[in-house]
A and B are shown apart, each in its own frame.
Chain A
Amino acid sequence: MHEQRSGTVVKINSNMVVARVEAPVVQNEVAFIEHAGERLKAEVIRVRASLVEMQVFEDTRGLRLGEKVVFTDELLSVELGPGLLGQIFDGLQNPLPQLAEKFGFFLKRGEYLEALPDQAQWEFAPLAKAGDTVRAGSKLGTVPEKIFKHAIMAPFDLSGTWEVERISPFGRYDLKTPVARLKNAEGKQRDVFLQQSWPVKIPIKAYAEKLRPSKTLVTKMRLIDSLFPVALGGTYCIPGPFGAGKTVLQQLTSRHADVDVVIIAACGERAGEVVETLKTFPTLTDPRTGKPLSDRTVIICNTSSMPVAARESSVYTAVTIAEYYRQMGLNVLLLADSTSRWAQAMREMSGRLEEIPGEEAFPAYLESRIASFYERAGLVRLNDGSTGSVTIGGTVSPAGGNFEEPVTQATLKVVGAFHGLSRSRSDARRYPAIDPLISWSKYPSFISAGQKERGHQVLRKSNDVSQMMKVIGEEGTSLADYIDYLKGEFFDSVYLQQNAFDPVDEATGQERQEYLFAFIHEILDADLAFGDKPEALQFFQKLRQLFRSWNSAAWKSKEFAALEEEIGLLVEKKRGPEKEKAHA
């Protein structure tokens, strides 16, 4: 298949174009439609005899029947190599700042720039030496990239073991100069460059084994880490109606999460939000490294008015880049906002292909596509024994805020944690608006199981009493029940809720969470004695106020200690007689 294969356009229906081709075609290969000097990128998605149906990644206005379609024999791929960090790409890995430099305010269709500039020079330090045996993904050398030593790895598609025939000495090389040559037992030779490309829809599997995610990924959100934790290499989803704070939650996570690299896939959402991220990240400091946050971030941005088909590819581009950094033994967090838009892109295309629709007109393969996407997350042991992980967190935007819709349901089947946002919590300004009564997580927290369960119990009981009080009024509620209700409200307001505008409260590290949880657990379990309801209410209001100040006090500061003492005294005064005895 080395001769150029081409066909002609016979049908145009929005971004679905059909070409007639006599030569063989490859499913999912990239094709270019040549239109008046423009070359529009498309992907083969269905073949019917000599008719090839393609999704076009660009606006198709003006396309004509009979225009030439050239097939490339390559699957839709991304370039992987040094220079990805800090960059902003569209769904097809076009660097947006460079596009802006060249074409001004507007995106120009049919223009594709190199994701990584070929002529950029990188300082290569070899790790392997001639005669070494290597396999796919083996580290051959490193180049410094922002905050990391970026590993240069043997191509991921090698099969079996290969021998290093030659490797370049320490020095500066560009992306198109081979830095090593490998050969295998059959004598086949292969050059290695600082950069390699990989088809986005195929997972990179150059590792020894996939492990069970067991270590908590610290997001520094108390509600998530303590009660509904995410594991390194795990998956989670955040469904919620509009206005419940999905995007703010993702932004906070992208800033504070304790990982090495963050990939943000802004998929079919508002451009304004991406702009905020890309303008503020270079100015924010990553506390782990002291460098700008943008140094550990890659943004893949295909906002809602950009071409729909590229929306679908943007999540795959993002996860492929995530897998690439994982191969270096790093912990990578991929935040996809929002997977519903990706699912809708599939629905649009499915409709144009006139496939038989499933529920709410989503295609029948919706579930398997969602499942295989989330399955690309994972904690892996690499061939050199080190581990790396890709954690995927996706938001879901269910129609009407109703979780009983296909995308939410398909996602819930495959993720390890569910952070359900509720309108009522966000209306009550209880942020983050993750509803603790409906959310769940299968991953372990650093809070002990017993303490965690007690936390859930307190919240459930409090909710039960609160529901009851709506019917029978405060007067009809027993004092014991009322105290349980107040305990739950207290726990919610001082621990679960976090003030994103407070520089201390917006992020709570693991150590502080453990300390705080144990402290609160003690209060929740304490036998507190009150004469009447107003006294109890007053006590908890006072406690809440003190705790909020405590949450704003820097960890282990003087103020922190002073407030802790004050809270301790307040609680001690209200302890019931039995506990007093026990303490004595």
Chain B
Amino acid sequence: MHKVYTKIVQIAGDVITVEAEGIGYLDIAEVQTRRGMSLAQVIRIDGARVSLQVFAGSKGISTGDKVRFLGHPMRVASGDNLLGRIFNGSGLPLDKGPALTENLVDIGGPSVNPVRRVVPGKMIRTGIPMIDVFNSLVESQKLPIFSIAGEPYNELLARIAVQAEVDYIILGGMGLKHDDYLFFRDTLEEAGALSRSIFFIHTAADPTVECLLVPDISLAVAEHFALNGKRVLVLLTDMTNFADSLKEIAITMEQVPSNRGYPGDLYSQLASRYEKAVDFDTAGSITILAVTTMPGDDVTHPVPDNTGYITEGQFYLKNAVIEPFGSLSRLKQQVNGKTRSDHRTIMDTMIQLFADYRETLEKQAMGFQMSAWDNKLLQYGKRFENEMMSLKVNIPLEKALDRGWEILADCFAPEETGIKKALIEQYWPKTR
């Protein structure tokens, strides 16, 4: 019933141009090639010339191949049938299950009316003290993990996914190494979380264009759940690959690049994905944790830079720990006043003392003499690194706060911490 066009007039990069009529912008088409069928999406219409990005890449496409337009934008199946399933970036099954075609939802739908959002106020507990105590994760927050290649960011994501108290987990993998994908699958399976997870996986070996769909598909499915009252955690790794795919297509389409080759709309493109994080006033929520690898550990690189302006803080993963300086949860103030009366004090005091410890380390490195206070700080800093910062630590918030008091009491006299008297009386360990 859909008209088939066979006049492909241009193939450049992963974009083909076909002469066709009556085509809707962003509509989906099927391209039948000798390598099989691939989906493609309209990205420009100029008179009779319709340009499409081909998800499977343009390799092997012949100018005589058939293009069949489906007459609608990209859609994805949604609903409970997806749970426990694994799909590729085009929404086709990667596991042995059947293809799904129920409850189709459009991807990249309209944005939420700001007046229907609520001010976020529910903490997501992760069991990681550097998050729970110092930079609490809040439901509906959008937070990237800034990291350089080689850091255990996927391990961190998987741990948060397993431990976070949410209803569903959606993993969007972009340019993922195949073994990383297996790692996620196995970790979630071991923890028994696979049955409440959905994977959309684009591996490094898959065609570039498919990478572009992963965030949209993941978020469209998440949105469907959230509208039905579910609390969904979306994990995206790695958004830098997504941005690089955008760049590739933009250059192919001969767009004027703005900064280091990235298209001028990089900010809007990233924002339209991250802003899907939401707490609906009468329904569920979407929380987004996304990995952004920083080429050359450079936070001013266009991808982390634009991301930082969009997201509500960032976790800065360095030397396999969440670095307390540079990491920030903008929403923590909304929740850390409601947990335990010592939460904010422990957070502030321990960080200030840790900053002093770092200064002492510098002084030590420059060969200055260590005072008694410096030695106390050195002792404190080591304990803090091993018992709080290390990602091996896995304790609930309250235990972490108690541990904080213990470390403080082991290293300092109460007045040296500058903590208010009332709290000292209530929490300072008595046995010392």
Interface residues of A (CB under 8 A from B): 10-14, 59-66, 88, 96-97, 99-100, 103-109, 241-243, 268, 270-272, 274-276, 278-280, 301, 303-306, 308, 341, 344-345, 347-348, 350-351, 354, 357, 360-362, 397, 399-402, 427, 473
Contacts and interface: CB of A to CB of B under 8 A. Distances in A.
A248 to B, nearest CB: 9
Contact of A279 (B119, B140, B276): B119
A11 B309 contact: no
A70 to B, nearest CB: 19
Contacts of A12: 25, 44-46
B115 A278 contact: yes
B155 interface: no
Interface stretch (B8-16, B190-198, B262-270): B262-270
B275 A271 contact: yes
A361 B310 contact: no
Contacts of A241: 308
B113 A103 contact: yes
Interface residues of B, number: 62
Contact of B25 (A63, A99, A105): A63
Contact of B73 (A62, A105, A276): A62
Residue picked from B114, B274, B301, most chain A C-beta under 10 Å? B114
A105 B119 CA distance: 15
Determine which residue in B27, B44, B45, B120 has the highest number of CB atoms from chain A within 10 A of its CB, and name it: B45
B268 A348 contact: yes
B251 to A, nearest CB: 12
21 contacts: A61-B108, A64-B23, A65-B22, A103-B113, A105-B116, A105-B280, A106-B109, A106-B110, A243-B308, A268-B271, A275-B117, A304-B272, A305-B271, A305-B276, A344-B264, A347-B258, A351-B265, A357-B256, A360-B259, A361-B264, A400-B301
Contacts of B328: 243
B114 A303 contact: yes
Contacts of A88: 114-115
B312 A399 contact: no
Contacts of B267: 268, 304, 341, 344
Contact of A97 (B115, B259, B278): B115
A331 B308 CA distance: 34
A242 B114 contact: no
A399 B308 contact: no
A345 B265 CA distance: 8
Given A105-B227, A243-B308, A344-B268, A305 B119 contact: no
B264 A272 contact: no
B25 A61 contact: yes
A107 B112 contact: yes
Interface string B21-61: 11111110000000000000000111110000000000000
A65 B21 contact: yes
Q: Which of A96, A348, A360 has the most CB of B within 10 A?
A: A348
B308 A278 contact: no
Contacts of B368: 473
Nearest to A356: B256
B120 to A, nearest CB: 7
Contacts of B256: 351, 354, 357, 361
A400 B115 contact: no
Given A96-B115, A351-B255, A62 B26 contact: yes
B119 A402 contact: no
A112 to B, nearest CB: 14
Leading 7 A-B pairs by shortest Cβ distance = A400-B300, A304-B271, A305-B275, A361-B258, A242-B308, A305-B111, A61-B26
Interface in B273-317: 274-276, 278, 280, 283, 299-302, 305-306, 308-310, 312-313
A271 B114 CA distance: 6
B419 interface: no
Contacts of A308: 265, 268
Contacts of A242: 305, 308-309
Contacts of B300: 399-402
Contacts of B268: 268, 304, 308, 344-345, 348
A63 B26 CA distance: 8
B257 interface: yes
Residue from the set B118, B271, B278 with the largest chain A CB neighbour count within 10 Å: B271
A501 to B, nearest CB: 8
Contacts of A279: 118-119
Contacts of A97: 115
B114 A399 contact: no
Contacts of B264: 344, 347-348, 350-351, 361
Nearest to A475: B368
Given A275-B115, A276-B119, A305-B276, 15 more contacts: A11-B45, A65-B21, A99-B115, A103-B113, A106-B112, A268-B271, A270-B312, A275-B117, A303-B111, A341-B267, A348-B268, A361-B258, A399-B300, A401-B305, A473-B368
Contacts of A272: 117, 119-120, 140, 312, 331
B181 to A, nearest CB: 29
Residue of B22, B259, B264 ringed by the most chain A CB atoms within 10 A: B264
Interface string B178-218: 00000000000000000000000000000000000000000
A396 to B, nearest CB: 11
A100 B110 contact: no
A13 B47 contact: no
Contacts of B22: 64-66
A473 B367 CA distance: 12
A171 to B, nearest CB: 33
A340 B17 CA distance: 34
Nearest to A103: B113
Contacts of B275: 270-271, 303-305
B311 to A, nearest CB: 8
A242 B115 CA distance: 25
Nearest to A306: B111
Contacts of B302: 399
Contacts of A306: 111
Contacts of B45: 11-13, 65
A303 B278 CA distance: 13
Contact of B111 (A106, A280, A348, A401): A106
Contacts of A270: 275, 310, 312
Contacts of B331: 272
Contacts of B259: 360-361, 399
Contact of B114 (A10, A63, A274, A351): A274
A362 B24 CA distance: 30
A62 B116 contact: no
A14 to B, nearest CB: 8
A62 B111 contact: no
B25 A60 contact: yes
B61 to A, nearest CB: 22
Contacts of A66: 22
A314 B252 CA distance: 32
Contacts of A268: 267-268, 271
Contacts of A427: 325
B258 A100 contact: no
Contacts of A109: 110
Interface centre among B72, B116, B272 (most CB of A within 10 A): B116
A10 B264 CA distance: 24
B114 A348 contact: no
A241 B312 CA distance: 14
A345 B278 CA distance: 24
A302 to B, nearest CB: 10
A100 B282 CA distance: 13
Contacts of B257: 361
B22 to A, nearest CB: 6
Contacts of B73: 61-62
